[in-house]
Amino acid sequence: MTLKATILTIVGSLTLAIPYTYQHTFASTSSKLSQAQPSLKVPEIPKSVILQLRQNMAKRLNLKLSNVRVARVESKIFDSCLNLPAKNEKCQKIGYTGWTVRVVAGKQSWLYHAVSPKSLRNNFRVNWLQSLPNDVRQKAISNVTLLSEPPVGTIKVVSVEPQVWKNNCLELAKTDRRCHSTKTPGWLIKLKSDRSNGKEPSQWVYRSDLDGKIVELDLLASVGNLSQKLNADILSDVAKRSQTQRSAWKVDQVQTLQWSNYGGDGPSRPIQGAVPVRDNVFGWKVLVSSLKQQWVYYATKNGFEFDAPKSVPSYLVEEAIKAASVQTGKPKSNFRLHWAELVTWDDTCLGVTITKPACEKTPVLGWRISLMESNSTLFTFHSRLDGDVRFAGSSPWLPPPSANPGGR
């Protein structure tokens, strides 16, 4: 073998071993190397492949072919999955010469990965992650940032899937507006933070229309389902609190929720003068029942809490309001539930001093019910778990000191 042939052979071998972007740079220059390696030149994308991609986008968006155009073509090397593997798909690492093609129609700009149909039978796929309109991406990220308060980490889009929603509410249950059975093309978007806490979803799932006029959090998909362990722990807790068997209780309903100190259907909290720190929490509201009792729990990934004010039977609160109204001569509308606690009274008199009948020193499970009258007076009642409401006293109520006196 001549010295010249040997050098060319070595150079050619080295060229095949380096990343493709560099291979294409070398092959595109008018050098002796490109002349020696004509097989490395990337062929021009066939017009038939261009037509394929335009037709695909036009069909998906229900547009005329004339409204779809190719904006940019770049040469690339792909594996057998065109570098876009489906879930659990096995891809061969063999390199296929192909193209990334930016196809545009109106506000939509989709990125296709394509090769010649002679190379692969299914010769193109859409890179949906790079096809999501920037407006939609930024709206989703901004919404997550708002809900992650205080902000935690950097939010980024990790997955995008095209969807055709069955209605204009994106198949999400809505109470504030009517939904119409109008097919709505759009996106299913998943986002993650590089750091997260136990109060937030591990991933955020959003639904949107095509152009981002509607971008909605899919709360159920983001938060997920209540784990079997949390479900079992709540039933164990309710049995312990109620001093009954766990088999006497059942879970009636689990509702996925987002709440904060500023609102939402979250756990009851006492009135505080200090301005609360905004703290968004994602979790579940769990209703458990036994006979005449229906108790409310709130759960997050980190644990759960019992909500006594939302668990005290409404008929006991009504009985207390009726008694307070009779005692004061004021209308029942003046009174409302202020707070409630689950209590084990030391005797059968429920902690209320009376002479008859005599009190037996027997523990009795019940409730301490506090009523507010016109934001000025607290009326306290004691009861058993399911009845026997007794007046225990009243006292003036003063609101907690304000954290911002005078509105300054």
Tokens representing 129?
């992650």
Q: What is the largest CA-CA distance in the chain?
A: 121
What is the full per-residue pLDDT of the chain (408 aa) written as tens digits?
Answer: 444 444 444 434 433 333 333 223 223 333 333 333 334 455 799 999 999 999 999 999 999 999 999 999 999 999 999 999 999 999 998 899 999 999 999 999 999 999 999 999 999 999 999 999 999 999 999 999 888 766 667 899 999 999 999 999 999 988 778 899 999 999 999 999 887 666 788 899 999 999 999 999 999 999 999 999 999 999 999 999 999 999 999 999 999 998 887 667 889 988 765 555 567 889 999 999 998 899 999 999 889 999 999 999 999 999 999 999 999 999 999 999 999 999 999 999 998 876 556 788 899 999 999 999 988 899 999 999 999 999 999 999 887 765 444 443
**Nearest to residue 226, comparing CAs of 323, 335, 303, 113?**
303
> Going by C-beta distance under 8 Å and a sequence separation of 6 or more, which residues neighbour residue 61?
68, 105, 108, 185, 210
* H or E stretch at 8: helix 3-17
Order of all β-strands in the sheet with 293-300: 250-259, 281-290, 293-300, 303-307
Domain ranges of the chain: 3-40, 47-130, 135-214, 228-307, 314-396
Say if CB 261 and CB 224 are below 8 A apart.
Answer: no
* H or E stretch at 28: helix 20-28
